[in-house]
Copies of this chain bind each other. A is one copy, B any other.
Amino acid sequence: MLPFANDYSRGAHPKVLQALIDTNMDAQPGYGQDIYTKRAAQKIQAACEAPDAEVFFISGGTQTNQVVISNLLDGDEGVVAADSGHINFHEAGSIEYTGHKVLTLPGERGKITAKNLQSYLDDWQADENHGQMVAPGLVYISFSTELGTLYSKQELADLSQVCRQNQIPLFMDGARLGYGLMSPECDLSLADIAKYCDIFYIGGTKVGALAGEAVVFTKHNVPKRFTTKIKRQGAMLAKGRLIGVQFDALFTDNLYFKLSQHAIDLAMKLKRALKDKGYQFLIDSPTNQQFVVVTNDQLAELKKHVDLSFWEVVDDTHTAIRLVTSWSTTEQELDALIAIL
Contacts and interface: CB of A to CB of B under 8 A. Distances in A.
Contacts of A24: 10-12, 14, 17
Interface in A62-111: 62-63, 66-67, 70-71, 74-76, 78, 89-94, 96-102
A181 interface: no
B135 A76 contact: no
Q: How large is the interface on A (under 10, 10 to 19, 20 to 34, 35 or more residues)?
A: 35 or more
Nearest to A70: B75
Nearest to A4: B27
Contact of A96 (B17, B23, B99, B235): B99
A328 interface: yes
Nearest to A230: B92
Contacts of A29: 5, 9
A93 B71 contact: no
Contacts of A135: 225, 228
A310 B66 CA distance: 33
A206 B10 contact: no
B11 A25 contact: yes
Interface of A: 1, 3, 5-6, 8-12, 14, 17, 20-21, 23-31, 59-63, 66-67, 70-71, 74-76, 78, 89-94, 96-102, 128-129, 131-135, 205-206, 210-211, 223-225, 227-229, 231-239, 241-242, 307, 310, 328
Given A93-B134, A134-B232, A205-B238, 4 more contacts: A8-B30, A25-B328, A92-B132, A131-B227
